[in-house]
Amino acid sequence: MDRRDFIASLGAATVASHLPMWAADAPVSSSRITLLHTNDTHSHIEPFGPGNGPISGLGGVARRATLVRQLRQQLGSVLLLDAGDTFQGTPYFNRYKGRLDYQLMRRLGYDAGTLGNHDFDNGVAMLVEAMESMEQLKHPNPPFAFVNCNFDFKGTPTLGRRVQPYLIREFPGIRVGITGVGVAFAGLVTPKNHEGLTWKDPYESLQPVVKRLREVEKADLVVVLSHLGYDMKGTAPDDLLMPGQVAGIDAIIGGHSHTFLDAPTRVPQVKGETLIFQVGFGGVNLGRMDFAVARGAIRSASGSSMPVLG
Ligand SMILES: [Zn+2]
């Protein structure tokens, strides 16, 4: 063996002997998932016209569809979610009673949504009709799911069987649990429009569901679609107080208060943190939160609000 071969063999031996240690020290390869989300779209099928201040020219379902399609192609593991109040706000709602909104959401490939107060504006029967029209649409995308854990549907079985307390979606290396909560009806929905439905405390309703998602369903990422509002200043349960009341939530996708946030609000938890996000209303923005998960724990989380432009 000449000197060069000797050094080469030494190098190889050194590399080999260090390999197991390097492998252990190497960063764990993480799996990534992106949550795309809207809230309070309020039947804004078309972009906002001129004269709407800072939101003039923004929004529109067709442009949102393009943005979502581009992001799905780029990112791979994507969930498209909505935090409620799909109904009410333009002549499209008066004409189509929410059927158009839900059908378009299915065409865009929404995975799940929750119910806001305005989704009851025409009563339970009309809400169910809009859901049925979305289910019956002939389209390659499956019907999207409705999630809520704080409404008691005992008196409205036709609606109850269309809303599930939570949903599990599996991606390579990540299990995502998604649940939802709605705002109290008092003062927002007339009693005849929510006949058969009872509202329950959202925090108390979430606690066992989130625990189940973590411990039984083994979700790596727990997401709450919330139509409670961002900051109700202590007058009602809200998104800002939720992380202190319910442990184990990674992301709250909010609605109801039409709050424009540029990036998620981060609330530290005993273990990890909760990201709270809401992107205004009317579909002018698309929210985006990215999570990297490795060995069942979240390694990084970030987010931004993306304007829906032409
Ligand atoms: Zn709203």
Cα of 83 vs centre of ligand 1, distance in Å, is 10
The Å distance, Cα 42 to ligand 1 centre, comes to 7
Can you list the domains of the chain with their CATH numbers?
Answer: 31-307 (3.60.21.10)
Q: What's the pLDDT score for residue 17? A: 40
Cα of 118 vs centre of ligand 1, distance in Å, is 7
172 CA to centre of ligand 1 in angstroms:
34
| d(CA 277, ligand 1 centre) in Å | 15
Per 3-state DSSP, the chain is made up of helix, strand and coil in percentages (nearest 5) of: 35, 25, 40
Q: How far is the CA of 41 from the centre of ligand 1 (A)?
A: 7
Residue 230 Cα distances to 10, 226, 279, angstroms: 62, 9, 11
The whole-angstrom separation of Cα 118 and Cα 264 is 25
Sign (positive/negative) of CA torsion 248, 297, 168, 38? positive
CA distance 84 to 148: 11
Amino acid at 234: G
Ligand 1 centroid distance, CA of 209 (Å)? 25
For ligand 1, the distance from its centroid to the CA atom of residue 281, given in whole angstroms, is 7
Distance, C-alpha 7 to centroid of its chain: 57
Counting as low any pLDDT under 70, the low residues of the chain are 1-28
Measured in Å, residue 227 CA sits from the centre of ligand 1 at 8
pLDDT, position 271: 86
Q: What is the pLDDT of residue 206?
A: 98
pLDDT for the residue 29? 83
Q: Is this structure's pTM higher than 0.85?
A: yes
Residue 291 Cα, ligand 1 centroid: separation in angstroms? 27
Instruction: Check residue 4 and give its pLDDT.
Output: 53
Ligand 1 center from residue 279 Cα (angstroms): 12
CA of 85 from ligand 1 middle (Å) equals 5
CA 239, chain centre distance (Å): 13
Q: How far is the CA of 88 from the centre of ligand 1 (A)?
A: 8
Strand segments, DSSP code E, in the chain are 31-38, 78-82, 112-113, 145-147, 151-152, 163-164, 166-171, 174-182, 198-199, 221-227, 251-254, 265-268, 273-277, 285-294, 297-307
